[in-house]
């Protein structure tokens, strides 16, 4: 039986509590869930530890700021079975009902990444697309040199590069045009949650991350995966 690993970088412990509950409530078999969370302060770690999530490890990572650096620390250090499924979660992503049953079926004869529909991206398969919620086997992660959202980015555009890398390597399964399941991104831009100071700070890196994307996407895939 494969396990599902939640890899989660956050600075909002209370969001984690509510989001985690929804993932568990909509899962058919919660015994398959293993959770690894990266935060930036001991106080955040203590808060999440107090929730007593089963099979959950919380670490403090503050060597480099930003979601991408923290999530890359998790992907670089995790060890599991090749066919285990990794979900790189954020605080405002929520699953469909029986999401584990859906993913079990999608990965039954597939060893790569799955393009999950976040409810906002059109189901076209070419153009400016991004992997907002990464979902893949551990074997697939290793083919990416254990980097999905490259730490050269602070917050934005890494999901665009993730799409390009997976597509170029032939590792992306995209059934969004035939599947109905939505993994909803409750983003503040569409009024799904309130914007906070962290959102404002993240947006200040937009131009910097855009320039990083323009620089990196002209590199060969071998260089992008370093």
In a 3-state reduction of DSSP, which class is residue 134? strand
- What's the burial of 170, exposed, middle or buried (CB within 10 Å: 0-12/13-18/19+)? exposed
Alpha-carbon distances of 114 from 53, 65, 155, 189, rounded to whole Å: 26, 28, 21, 25
Q: Identify the CA nearest to 165 among candidates 189, 146, 184.
A: 146
What pLDDT is attached to residue 85? 98
Q: Where are the alpha helices (DSSP H) in 107-224?
A: 138-143, 158-168, 197-203, 206-216, 221-224
CA–CA separation, 136 vs 146, rounded Å?
Answer: 11
What pLDDT is attached to residue 188? 67
Q: For strands 85-89 and 4-9, give the pairing.
A: parallel
Q: Which residues contact 114 (CB under 8 A, 6 or more apart)?
A: 103, 106, 107, 135, 136, 172, 173, 175
CA–CA separation, 165 vs 134, rounded Å?
Answer: 12
Q: Identify the CA nearest to 65 among candidates 208, 187, 184.
A: 208
What pLDDT is attached to residue 203? 80
What pLDDT is attached to residue 68? 95
CA–CA separation, 52 vs 194, rounded Å?
Answer: 26
Domain residue spans of the chain = 4-224
pLDDT by residue for the chain (226 residues), tens digit each? 899 999 999 999 999 999 999 999 999 999 999 999 999 999 999 999 999 999 999 999 999 989 999 999 999 999 999 999 999 999 999 999 999 999 999 999 999 999 999 988 777 777 779 999 999 999 999 999 999 999 999 999 999 999 999 999 999 999 999 999 999 998 767 777 788 787 788 788 899 999 999 999 999 999 999 9
What pLDDT is attached to residue 137? 98
CATH fold for the domain made of 4-224 = Spore Coat Polysaccharide Biosynthesis Protein SpsA; Chain A (3.90.550)
Strand partners, 36: 7, 57
Strand partners, 134: 88
């Amino acid at each position: 039986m494969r396990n599902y690993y939640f890899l989660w970088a956050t600075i909002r412990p209370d969001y984690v509590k509510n989001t985690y509950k929804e993932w568990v409530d909509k899962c058919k078999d919660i015994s398959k869930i293993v959770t690894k969370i990266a935060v930036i302060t001991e106080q955040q770690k203590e808060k999440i530890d107090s929730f007593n999530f089963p099979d959950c490890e919380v670490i403090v990572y503050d060597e480099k700021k930003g979601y991408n650096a923290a999530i890359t620390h998790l992907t670089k250090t995790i060890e599991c079975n090749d066919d285990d499924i990794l979900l790189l979660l954020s605080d405002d992503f929520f699953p469909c009902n029986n999401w584990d049953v859906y993913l079990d079926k999608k990965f039954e004869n597939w060893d790569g990444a799955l393009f999950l529909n976040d409810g906002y991206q059109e189901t076209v398969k070419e153009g400016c697309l991004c992997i907002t919620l990464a979902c893949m086997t551990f074997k697939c992660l290793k083919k990416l040199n254990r980097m999905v959202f490259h730490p050269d980015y602070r917050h934005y555009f890494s999901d665009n590069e993730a799409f390009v890398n997976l597509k170029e390597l032939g590792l992306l399964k995209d059934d969004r045009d035939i599947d109905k399941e939505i993994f909803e991104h409750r983003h503040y831009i569409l009024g799904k949650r309130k914007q906070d100071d962290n959102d404002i700070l993240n947006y200040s890196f937009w131009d910097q991350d855009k320039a990083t994307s323009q620089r990196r996407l002209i590199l060969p895939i071998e260089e992008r995966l370093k």
